[in-house]
Amino acid sequence: MIEGEEEVGSKSLEDFLAKNRKKLDADALVLSDTSMLAPGVPSITYGLRGLNYFQLEITGAAQDLHSGVFGGAAPNPLTILAELIAKLHDRNGRVTVPGFYDDVASLPRAERKALNSLPWKEKDFRKTVGARDLNGEKGFTVVERLWTRPTLEVNGIWGGYIGEGAKTVIPSKASMKFSCRLVPDQDPKTITRLVEKYIRGLLPKTVTAKFEALSTGKPWAAPYTHPIFQTAQKALEEGFKKKAVFIREGGSIPLVTQIYDTFKVPCVLLGFGLPDENAHAPDEHIRLENYFGGIRAVALFYQKLGEMQAAPAR
């Protein structure tokens, strides 16, 4: 199956799956859209965060205003948007939307221990980020923050004059794109409702607001108990000559949830990219050793699947 809407939330897939339920029936989903934990660590991903993507436009004056003639008495949507954003996290890095964490499943102690014991180095992660320091939600390790905790991130912001030099304008409008990464058992529709309600309540009466949910995607985490996972692990280890591990990821693949919910099949996520390869940024690339290791591992995996006894797939 080739699906080309992944980056816009796989909006057409759900209907397509429902309509072609029988034709698409299969024993498992095998997908390569995730990452390896680190160089030399082939990985199978068993959990993904969901993603709700929003857009907000706020309007103050009926048109752009001269900041000399009107500055000091007219509402400035840029400042008002900034003041809104500043209220969306508390001092501990937690999202302040009431009810946001209500449905977050607590992480079993064994899983928490396993995730924090993976061959993953915070030092390398810091180097990849390249900022002077990290931040995030207090009380959780970096791995827990990335894979098991929900977020609210501003992805884009614009308004007013953004060209070369100076223009003394108080713009009529200010906008932002922002998104929430979701974790089990948060429900995307509930989160959208909570976020919109909270934001509308925070805005002052000087402005109006247009709130849009551009896409929503459920979080996913599933046990890796089906025999196919052990087969995949063996194929990875033979293909890479390295120990393979089970990991979660912070990214979102709505397709996985939709297939999992529709067919109840095991979903085997074999990824060969690395976190420092600039995904979604300029100069995105992939290391050749993982490109060829991936080819070997996937070939071995399909060979081993052919050798597996015809076992009930679900």
Nearer to a second copy, 231 or 258 (CB): 258
Contact call for residue 18 and a second copy (CB under 8 A): no
Contact call for residue 287 and a second copy (CB under 8 A): no
Query: Smallest Cα–Cα separation from 152: which of 126, 125, 115, 179?
Result: 179
Size of the chain, expressed as the number of residues it contains = 314
Nearer to a second copy, 159 or 184 (CB): 159
Contact call for residue 250 and a second copy (CB under 8 A): yes
Pairing status of strand 43-48 against strand 50-59: unpaired
Least distance CB 196 / a second copy (angstroms): 17
**CA angle (222, 98, 108) in 5-degree steps:** 30
Residue 178 DSSP code: E
**CA angle (217, 134, 89) in 5-degree steps:** 55
Q: Which residues contact 225 (CB under 8 A, 6 or more apart)?
A: none
CA distance readout (Å), 278 to 35, 144, 180, 215, 285: 12, 21, 21, 23, 7
Q: In this structure, what token pair is assigned to residue 90?
A: 């508390």
Stretch that binds a second copy, among 97-105, 143-151, 235-243, 302-310 (CB under 8 A): 143-151
Number of residues that bind a second copy (CB under 8 A): 91
Q: Could you say which residues in the range 164-183 bind a second copy, by CB under 8 A?
A: 165-171, 174-177, 179, 181
Contact call for residue 53 and a second copy (CB under 8 A): yes
Amino acid, single-letter form, for residue 20: N
Contact call for residue 30 and a second copy (CB under 8 A): no
Over the window 194 to 233, marking each residue x when it contacts a second copy by CB under 8 A and - when it does not, the resulting string is ----------xxxxx-----xx------------------
Contact call for residue 72 and a second copy (CB under 8 A): yes
Q: Could you say which residues in the range 82-141 bind a second copy, by CB under 8 A?
A: 82-89, 125, 129-137
